[in-house]
Each structure stands twice: as structure tokens, then as C-alpha cells.
Amino acid sequence: MAAGKKAKKRPPSSSKLTLRDLKLLRTLRRRGWKVRRVSRARKLLPPTLAGRYPRVPAGVLRLLSALEACVSPKETVWFLTAEDYARTDDVGFRWNEFEIMSLEAADGDPELESEIRSFWDGHFPVMLAVHSDYDYLAVRVSDGAVVHGYAPEWEEPSEVAPSFAALLTALEAEADAERDDGPFKIFVGRGI
């Protein structure tokens, strides 16, 4: 190394995006999404959330921690990022907005509130959509499968992918197909 030059600090290898990750991000950019990557590696979750979600799959941590933003053209769909998970104010949609809404709807019923918290303790939100029924995609932490839920019954989701990797492949295929009739059109369709 030449005198006076500092070596650039490289992010840990776990923060490197896979070809699948990069292909999805390129496809979303072509569809008009605002995709910005972070300039240096960082942790995705603040300590309180890392304690709540100790078993988030590595692929989820890798992709989401590498993103500063990944937002649809009309800003109605987005992948959650470290900034979202770190927010503590109540301006706009929070990472756990649907859990908060469900708890408010429980109207102080302790049993129902416990069920709602238990559900969300087992489901880690990764993507939100607010242009229709307030949809989300979340990783079920018990097995890594991805589920899709929507209002008003957020706690009754359906499984849409056996893993986060499978979800990314499906989203990329849907976005790349240039159609608007597939199962993931809510998240990557035209006009969102």
C-alpha cells in the first residue's frame, strides 16, 4: 500500500448482496423504484428489536441492512430498512404499524392484546403496502416462511413463499414479467 493512503474498510462478508438480491434490485429500478444502498454496513435492528426477533434469517438481515431505501414509484410500497426499525416517533407508517392498529382495535382486552403481541413476536415484517388493504409481507420466524396479510385481519395471513430467498425470486419474476395479474402485483405491480 502506498504511503499515506488508508485502506478502505470493507463491510463484513455477510453484508454482501447475493446475485438474487442484486437482480431484484435492478429489476425494481427498471420499474421506477427508488433503490438506494447504504454506504457502509450497519446492523438492521436496534437492541430491543434484536431481542424480540433473535431468529431473523441471515438473508433478510443481509438485504434489508444493505438498503437505505427501496420504495415504489408512488411511495406506496417499500421494503423496511434499518431506519424504519429504529424509528420511535409516530409520524407516518411505522415498521409495526399494523400491530399497533390491531392493539388499538383490541380496545383494552388483555387476552386479545396478548394474542396480537404473540402473533407479531413470531412474524417479522419486511415489506409494507399502503395503496389498497394495508398489506404486508413478513417472515415467520419459526420456520423462515414468508406470509402475506392485510387489513382488517392482519393476524390471519397466508403463506406465499417457503423462504425469504424464494420470495425475492418470485418478486423479481413478477416485476420482470411486466404484467399485473400475478400473486405479487400488490407489491411489485405497475402503478404502485
Return d(Cα 138, Cα 95) in angstroms, integer: 11
pLDDT score of 11 more than 80: no
How many structural domains does the chain have? 1
pLDDT score of 179 more than 90: no
pLDDT score of 30 more than 90: yes
Residue 5 lies in a domain: no
| Nine cell digits for residue 168 | 425475492
Of the pLDDT bands very low, low, confident and very high (cuts 50, 70, 90), residue 15 is low
The boundaries of the domain holding residue 131 are 14-188
The whole-number average pLDDT for the span 142-146 is 98
Return d(Cα 115, Cα 18) in angstroms, integer: 36
Taking only the tens place, the pLDDT of each residue in 34-50 is 999 999 888 999 999 99
Q: Are 20 and 171 in contact (CB under 8 A)?
A: no
Of the pLDDT bands very low, low, confident and very high (cuts 50, 70, 90), residue 29 is very high
Residue 48 lies in a domain: yes
Residue 7 lies in a domain: no
